[in-house]
């Protein structure tokens, strides 16, 4: 870890609270304000673990122990976010602590899972990968501004089983009672554990803000518990140390539902502490000791708290009361797409025929998926994600093509996910040409005999990069601006 800031940057009130928690400030504060070792997670939806690790051998990946897909690295001057593997969605740059909540949640293929506070998508994409892109993943985000980062990461990681909604998490208790097999509530918090990368949180940090957040978290955890099916599992997590937001929130749940079970968390390679039994004048529920606390001077990662909560019995006898400040009705958002079955839609049929003619992708390759249109865009999702109806759906699945009057353009995100099916109009790029392509440039290429002018799929060593427009020996990259890699 490298030193970033000094202790004097932190408010005295915050330091006093850390001392009350029994922390040695001389060890804790420098670690809190230092960057943890860079780390990443392999995305099995986009790449085989063995081949990805082989291509990343130069950054010396080291497994963390608790999750076979998570690694610390030694990138030197190389930025992990500029690597080809990151562009392709084969890896996700993520702090090691941030990967633990989903590891504890242990999602399974075919389940229905709710990520109640999903942006920016680090844990959402991790859930989708564990589900093998099967079943239904409802990714909710209350902030419309933060939804853009969420959908961008879903696209890059090739997620097709996700449905994104944009509404307060408090509504799910009465909107979808006892529906979900598993729920992740990575709650909005005071973010004390992430000060190594973001000191802006200090501008709004105060003990009053902790009290306000604890009240919000209490409402969210109750809503999530109502939405969890009997026997289901919920993980509650924060990136803060405040006991009010961790043990306090879990205790509020147990006061409402005494039969809720806070299960111990046992993971290899993690040096954590149990939850606090009390804080100031508040004694917490004894089960809150099963919370896992991570401190940066003891664990090479950001500060985190994680609770593993099992719901043993039904809550249908209770009335899930919505937050009184929320709108009484939740109308579908303007972006809510009504699914249109592929056999009933001319645009979908035209798209499938064009993909076969241009790229050799057989229409039956999409038989297990749900295809539908929004305007002139063709989208692909799992059957479960395509059929589910919720208020304020902003998108579902992955956009795979855009239909024009005389042609169809495969999207870069779709080519990266389904590139292994492409048999025609492929063009191979070397390392230098690949860098130009990722930067969105136009370049001269040697046109293969079997590649005609028009849209082509660009590859680097059998890795599908994206779509390019080929004309008379010039290749114009169609990589979206938001995904271009400069440098």
Question: Among residues 239, 263, 267, 235, which one has the least CA distance to residue 64?
Answer: 267
Query: Does residue 462 register a pLDDT over 90?
Result: no
Confidence class for position 198, pLDDT limits 50, 70, 90: confident
Q: Indicate where the chain has its CATH 2.30.130.60 domain(s).
A: 425-487
As a whole number, mean pLDDT of residues 275-291 equals: 97
* Confidence check: pLDDT of 344 > 60: no
> Does residue 454 sit in helix, strand or coil?
strand
Average pLDDT value for the chain: 91
**CA 393 to CA 139: how far, in whole Å?**
10
Q: Locate CATH 3.40.50.150 in the chain.
A: 98-310
pLDDT digits (tens, 9 = 90+) for 360-373: 999 999 999 999 98
Quick one: pLDDT at residue 62?
A: 97
pLDDT value at residue 201? 83
Catalytic site residue from 189, 239, 305, 380: 239
DSSP assignment, residue 35? E
Q: Quick check: 393 and 140 in contact, CB under 8 A?
A: no
Query: Which pair of tokens denotes residue 163?
Result: 């449905």
pLDDT for the residue 77: 87
The answer, yes or no, to whether residue 460 has pLDDT greater than 60, is: yes
Dihedral, CA of residue 33, residue 38, residue 43 and residue 46, to nearest 10 = 130
The most confident of the ranges 161-170, 314-323, 405-414 is: 161-170
Q: How confident is residue 326, by pLDDT bands cut at 50, 70 and 90?
A: low
Question: For the residues 322-336, what does the mean pLDDT come to?
Answer: 49
pLDDT of residue 91: 98
For 284, the token pair is: 């917490």
Q: Which pLDDT value is given to residue 349?
A: 87
Give mean pLDDT, residues 97-117.
Answer: 98
Is it the case that residue 430 has pLDDT exceeding 90?
yes
Segment 473-482 mean pLDDT: 94
- CATH number belonging to the domain at 331-419, selected among 2.60.120, 3.10.110, 2.60.40, 3.10.450: 3.10.450
* 239 given a catalytic annotation: yes
**High-pLDDT (> 90) share of the chain, %:** 82
- For 348-400, the pLDDT digits (tens) are 888 899 999 999 999 999 999 999 988 888 999 999 999 999 999 999 999 99
Average pLDDT (124-141) is 98
pTM: 0.94
486: pLDDT strictly greater than 80: no
Q: Binding-site residues for S-adenosyl-L-methionine, please?
A: 117-123, 141, 186
Tokens of 47: 């790449």
Condensed to tens digits (0 to 9), the pLDDT of residues 154-183 reads 999 999 999 999 999 999 999 999 999 999
Give CA–CA dist 361/53, Å, rounded: 29
Domain 98-310 of CATH type 3.40.50.10860: no
- Residue 146 has which token pair? 């933060």
**Percentage above 70 pLDDT, the chain:** 92
Residues 107-129: b if buried by 16+ CB within 10 A, e if exposed: beeebbbbbbbbbbbbbbbbbbb
- Rounded to whole angstroms, the Cα distance separating 260 from 487 reads 51
Q: What are the beta bridge partners of residue 122?
A: none
Token readout for 164 is 């994104």
pLDDT for 273 equals 97
DSSP label at residue 158: T
- Structural tokens at position 484: 């271009």
Query: How far are the Cα atoms of 177, 206, 253, 260, 483 from residue 220, in angstroms, in the given order?
Result: 14, 21, 10, 16, 33
373 within 8 A of 356, measured Cβ to Cβ: no
In which element (H, E) is residue 235 found? strand 228-238
Residues contacting residue 268 through CB under 8 Å, at least 6 positions apart: 65, 66
- The pLDDT of 113-137, averaged and rounded, is 98
Q: β-pairing, 278-279 with 282-283?
A: antiparallel
Which residue in 188, 185, 182, 276 sits closest to 223, CA to CA? 185
Mean of the pLDDT values across residues 62-87? 94
> Kind of pairing, strands 463-471 and 454-460?
antiparallel
Shortest CA distance to 122 belongs to which of 110, 146, 296? 146
pLDDT tens profile 227-269? 999 999 999 999 999 999 999 999 999 999 999 999 999 999 8
Using DSSP's 3-state secondary structure scheme, residue 119 falls into coil
* pLDDT number for residue 376: 81
pLDDT on residue 52: 96
Where does CATH 3.10.450 sit in the chain?
Answer: 331-419
Least confident of 91-105, 277-291, 321-335, 379-393: 321-335
Residue 41: what pLDDT? 98
CA 375 – CA 337 distance, rounded (Å) = 9
Phi-psi region of 133 (alpha: psi -120 to 50; beta: other; left: phi over 0): left
Say yes or no: domain 425-487 is CATH 2.30.130.60: yes
- Phi and psi dihedrals of 91, rounded to 5? -130, 155
What is the reported pLDDT for 330? 44
- Rounded Cα gap, residues 247 and 241, in angstroms: 10
Strand stretches in 302-440, DSSP E: 304-310, 370-374, 377-381, 393-396, 398-403, 408-410, 426-428
Per DSSP, helices labelled H in 195-243 are 207-227
- Helix axes 122-130 and 144-156, enclosed angle (nearest 10): 40
Measured CA to CA, the distance from residue 262 to residue 267 in angstroms comes to 16
Report the alpha-carbon distance of residue 368 to residue 346 in Å, rounded. Answer: 19
- Positions at the binding site: 117-123, 141, 186
Give the whole-angstrom CA distance, residue 158 versus residue 132. Answer: 11
Q: Residue 409: which pLDDT band, with cuts at 50, 70 and 90?
A: confident
Residues 6+ apart with CB under 8 A from 200: none
Q: In what helix (H) or strand (E) does residue 229 lie, and over which residues does it extend? A: strand 228-238
DSSP-assigned letters across all residues of 82-115: GSHHHHTTSEEE--TGGGHHHHHH---TT-EEEE
Per-residue DSSP letter, 195: T
């Amino acid at each position: 870890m490298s030193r970033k800031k000094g202790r004097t940057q932190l408010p005295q009130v915050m330091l006093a609270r850390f001392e009350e928690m029994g922390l040695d400030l001389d060890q804790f504060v420098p670690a809190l304000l230092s960057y943890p070792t860079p780390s990443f997670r392999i995305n099995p939806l986009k790449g085989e673990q063995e081949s990805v690790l082989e291509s990343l051998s130069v950054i010396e990946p080291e497994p963390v122990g608790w999750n076979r897909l998570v690694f610390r690295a030694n990138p030197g001057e190389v930025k992990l976010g500029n690597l080809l593997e990151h562009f392709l969605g084969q890896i996700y740059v993520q702090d090691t602590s941030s990967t633990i909540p989903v590891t504890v949640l242990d999602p399974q293929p075919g389940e229905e899972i709710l990520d109640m506070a999903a942006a920016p998508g680090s844990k959402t994409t991790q859930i989708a990968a564990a589900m093998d892109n099967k079943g239904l993943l409802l990714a909710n985000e209350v902030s419309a501004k933060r939804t853009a980062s969420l959908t961008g990461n879903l696209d890059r990681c090739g997620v097709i089983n996700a449905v994104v909604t944009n509404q307060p998490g408090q509504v799910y208790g009465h909107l979808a009672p006892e529906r979900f097999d598993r729920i992740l509530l990575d709650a909005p918090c005071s973010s004390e554990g992430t000060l190594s990368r973001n000191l802006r949180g200090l501008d709004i940090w105060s003990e009053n803000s902790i009290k306000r957040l604890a009240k919000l978290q209490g409402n969210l955890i109750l809503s999530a518990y109502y939405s969890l099916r009997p026997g289901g599992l919920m993980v509650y997590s924060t990136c803060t140390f405040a006991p009010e937001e961790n043990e306090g929130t879990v205790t509020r749940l147990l006061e409402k539902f005494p039969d809720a079970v806070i299960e111990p968390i046992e993971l290899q390679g993690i040096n954590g502490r149990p939850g606090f039994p009390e804080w100031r004048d508040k004694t917490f529920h004894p089960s809150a000791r099963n919370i896992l606390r991570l401190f940066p001077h003891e664990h090479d990662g950001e500060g985190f708290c994680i609770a593993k909560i099992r719901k043993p019995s039904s809550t249908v006898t209770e009335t899930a009361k919505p937050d009184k400040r929320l709108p009484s009705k939740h109308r579908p958002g303007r972006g809510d797409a009504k699914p249109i079955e592929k056999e009933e839609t001319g645009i979908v049929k035209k798209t499938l025929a064009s993909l076969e003619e241009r790229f050799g992708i057989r229409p039956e390759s999409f038989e297990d998926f749900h295809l539908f249109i929004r305007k002139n865009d063709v989208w692909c999702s799992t059957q479960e994600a395509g059929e589910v109806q919720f208020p304020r759906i902003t998108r579902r699945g992955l956009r795979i093509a855009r239909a024009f009057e005389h042609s169809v353009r495969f999207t870069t995100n779709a080519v990266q996910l389904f590139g292994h099916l492409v048999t025609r109009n492929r063009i191979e790029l070397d390392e230098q040409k690949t860098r130009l392509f990722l930067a969105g440039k136009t370049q001269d290429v040697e046109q293969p005999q079997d590649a005609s002018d028009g849209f082509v799929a660009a590859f680097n060593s059998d890795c599908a990069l994206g779509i390019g427009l080929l004309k008379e020996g010039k290749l114009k990259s169609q990589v979206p601006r938001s995904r271009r890699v400069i440098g």
